[in-house]
Structure 1
């Protein structure tokens, strides 16, 4: 990951930490967009990584689209569709990453930043964090479809129509984030949760995330049938057999990811 310039990569104990680092407010520049997509695609195929923590450097998680840079990349026919495609693929790279992604919201996550958070698997916020859709003030639409996975009908429309920002404590009250911590405790809390996930069978967590993504838009009957089929596949893995042996022998399992 030495080729990244606006994204920091750290790895320890099966946990990959990705830090958005595009000062001053981590706006989603073309470079950051493409680097985040690339890093997550790589991580999907890195057996040593079992879970990802995504956070931002400084006081802002991501202030949204890079409006200044946008003018430089959208100049002629075809530029806008191409730009839109790259942007949505960045969000899909988070959701479709083979490894669970914990989003540690260190500050405001606006527009594109909210879409990143909504594309993650687990959200944790600091007291300084907030989620918002400010596009109404700049003549654009934001990631409302992504936000629908987090907010109720009325709250989402209020956010979109007024630019309302929802602070970390309220996000926790609503059950949108798992915890609201002090700024100092945010990353330790995220890493602690990541450590719990990393201790599980990587086959089970990978297939579990994939299954949840697939069944999200299915009917109850079809979705549960698919989940049962995936359960049958997991049960045939070495990790599943190891988990059963460890349970019977009253010891901690040693997973190999096979």
Structure 2
């Protein structure tokens, strides 16, 4: 058990070889309610601060990755003044905790990822999808319109609009064709393939990996010149660390490096 993650109801967390596997356990379809959002913030904040964790795999238990928000908890504008601002802050926090976690996250999308479930997958760094899995933004089907900005991070302009405006299911092979997913594999190989990627990341210099993730997050909206200058500043800072010196020595000596996280 990772300290700070006791008493979870919607998630199960396991740690092996510096890879934390986070499994959504909210049957029947891993819908996102208030408890789900509070717990996912806690899970990824703790993993962010756990030195022994170097990479994360996020997946769902059962037939769904996450079928989206639990609509029974959607605020009633007439009966609950202020309900939507409170609700929306927690929704944003649940996604931000995943995006801002310092450790790279591989989404192992095992089944349906709908609405908020689709956004949750797109908050991860790398997508690995099962052949029968699909992403779908169904907001227009229920008179809403959300998730556009998250979808645009992973999809080209035409495909993003196709997804949002039609609410169609984008299956595993289509996601691979659209360059939204890195791998599309049979479901029985999904966790194995996602974990292999996470272990490959975990074998690299932890401080360098975390700096690279920060660069992705912070430079996404920057002009090229400003983004590259930021990346150079990260390189200068890393050059002063023990782990970078160890990585360079190990490379020259053709051996496996030993990292201390400093």
Give 2:117's match in structure 1, choosing from 110, 113, 119.
113
Normalising by structure 2, report the TM-score.
Answer: 0.95
Unaligned stretches of 5+ residues in structure 1: none
**Residues 211-222 of structure 1: pairs in structure 2 closer than 5 A:** 211-222=215-226
8 A contact 1:201–1:239 mirrored in 2: yes
Unaligned stretches of 5+ residues in structure 2: none
CA deviation map 1:122-161 (0-9, x unaligned): 1000011111111111122221110011112222222222
| Aligned-residue RMSD, C-alpha | 1.4
Misfit runs of 4+, over 3 Å: 71-75
Matched, 1:61 2:68: no
8 A contact 2:176–2:183 mirrored in 1: yes
Which position in structure 1 is the counterpart of 2:42? 38
CA shift, 1:178, in A, is: 1.0
8 A contact 2:106–2:128 mirrored in 1: yes
Give 1:243's match in structure 2, choosing from 226, 229, 247.
247
Give 1:209's match in structure 2, choosing from 195, 200, 213.
213
Which position in structure 1 is the counterpart of 2:84? 80
Which position in structure 2 is the counterpart of 1:8? 12
**Residues 56-205 of structure 1: pairs in structure 2 closer than 5 A:** 56-71=60-75, 75-205=79-209
CA deviation map 1:184-230 (0-9, x unaligned): 10000011111101101111111110111111110001000010011
CA shift, 1:75, in A, is: 4.5
Normalising by structure 1, report the TM-score.
Answer: 0.97
Matched, 1:24 2:28: yes
CA deviation map 1:9-39 (0-9, x unaligned): 1111111111111111111111111101110
Count of residue correspondences: 258
SS at match of 1:149: helix
Range with greater deviation from structure 2 (126-135 or 245-254): 245-254
Range with greater deviation from structure 2 (68-77 or 221-230): 68-77
Which position in structure 2 is the counterpart of 1:233? 237
Rounded to whole Å, the distance in 2 between the matches of 1:166 and 1:243 is 40
8 A contact 2:60–2:110 mirrored in 1: yes
